[in-house]
Amino acid sequence: MIVKRYFVRRKKKLNFTNKDSDLYGLLVEIQPDWLDIRDENFLLSILNAAPENLIQTKKIRFCKDKIKELFRYDSKPPKWIQSPEWPIVNGQPLVFKKQSKETLDDERVYYYFYHPTTKEETIITQFF
């Protein structure tokens, strides 16, 4: 970044690319705002599932659609008060059911998820 800044400030025309930075940007771009998957391997598996002959914009659309297909919710997506913590069990995202506070003065928000097959419930707690 320092070298890039040096050339940019001197108005030198160079083509700067950084494969890692470009990949990171792509992995962020394919996710909706209510989701922040930190598992790079999981995201790469989605990206690698896209047909190779797709142009970049169609590859992004493919990945976004796949993510929306995998990360389901009953009525609306969670509104996280901290960083998103969507649980993934054995490579499968759980389904978001609801979020709630126990009492009005409670400083915690509970996010309820369930396994689509077993219906086993998982609760994520976040604090204000």
Would you say 112 and 121 are in contact if contact means Cβ atoms under 8 Å apart? yes
Question: pLDDT category, 16, cuts 50, 70, 90?
Answer: low
Give the predicted TM-score (pTM) of the model: 0.77
Q: Taking the domain 72-128, which CATH number applies?
A: 2.30.30
Give percent of the chain with pLDDT exceeding 70: 97
* Distance, CA of 32 to CA of 116 (rounded, Å): 21
* Distance, CA of 53 to CA of 59 (rounded, Å): 9
Q: Which amino acid belongs to residue 88? A: I
Of residues 3 and 121, more confidently modeled:
121
pLDDT of residue 122 exceeding 90, the answer is: yes
| Lookup: tokens for 27 | 């992995």
Would you say 57 and 21 are in contact if contact means Cβ atoms under 8 Å apart? no
pLDDT of residue 12 exceeding 90, the answer is: no
Give percent of the chain with pLDDT exceeding 90: 66
Question: Which part of the chain has CATH 2.30.30?
Answer: 72-128
Q: Express each pLDDT in 46-64 by its tens digit.
A: 999 999 999 999 999 999 9
Nearest to 124 by CA among 104, 93, 103, 105: 93
Q: Which of 4-8, 28-32, 38-42 has the lowest mean pLDDT?
A: 4-8
